Amino acid sequence: MSSTSLPLNQNLDKKALRHTLRQRRRALTSHRQRCAELRLTSRLAKHPEFVSADTLALYLAADGEIGTRAIIELAWRLGKRVYLPILRAGNRLRFAEYLPGAQLRRNRLGIPEPLIKRYRGAKFLDLVLMPLVGFDAAGRRLGMGGGFYDRSFAFVRERQRRRPVLVGLAHQCQQVGHLPAEVWDVPMAAIATDRRWLPVRRLGR
């Protein structure tokens, strides 16, 4: 499978598009998944946004998402504090500290969360690494459709804030020709893949 942008039928609705892109990333072999994770980690390790972050939130990969285990272990070695999202009522997220050896339990969506809750407010994180289903060259993004990150980080859209920095993570094969932007989309600073770092200057419509 090519790692470059693959065109999709622009008439596909978002549900069909999500299905296509999730199949695309699931089709990657375990070897390609691991290589992609290590390339992504190497790229992030050198980037100023990661280097300067004392606190970062990310996710535990599932459903073919690009892996984050190597990033987490690097962050721990560097003395950074790592947080995972906790699903709240109203489809909003809280962030609980993730420590080495911490016990996890699955939430109602089957996603592992820390059992012991040491929370940090979304406004007090330095860097947030968000999972993506798809993205385009202009930095428009496609998530799972639940609106968890859009609701939880709406304050980033409403105010010109330096922190937290929001970066979407994806396999390069999740790039498509064009995605529509919605008014409720939370703007990201960049998209990081196993192949490139794509700054997002402005979300087009």
Taking only the tens place, the pLDDT of each residue in 148-164 is 898 899 888 766 667 89
pLDDT digits (tens, 9 = 90+) for 58-75: 999 999 999 999 999 999
CATH architecture label of 51-199? 3-Layer(aba) Sandwich (3.40)
Q: What is the pTM of this model?
A: 0.88
Question: Does a cis peptide bond (omega within 30 degrees of 0) precede residue 180?
Answer: no
CB neighbours of residue 180 within 10 Å: 12
Integer Cα distance of 98 and 125 in angstroms: 14
Q: Report which of 179, 132, 137, 171 is spatially closest to residue 24, judged by C-alpha positions.
A: 171
| Confidence band for 202, pLDDT divided at 50, 70 and 90 | low
Q: What is the pLDDT of residue 163?
A: 85
Classify 131 as helix, strand or coil.
Answer: strand
pLDDT digits (tens, 9 = 90+) for 80-129: 999 999 988 777 899 999 999 999 999 888 888 998 778 999 999 999 99
Write down the domain spans for the chain: 51-199
Burial (Cβ within 10 Å: 0-12, 13-18, ≥19) of residue 163: middle
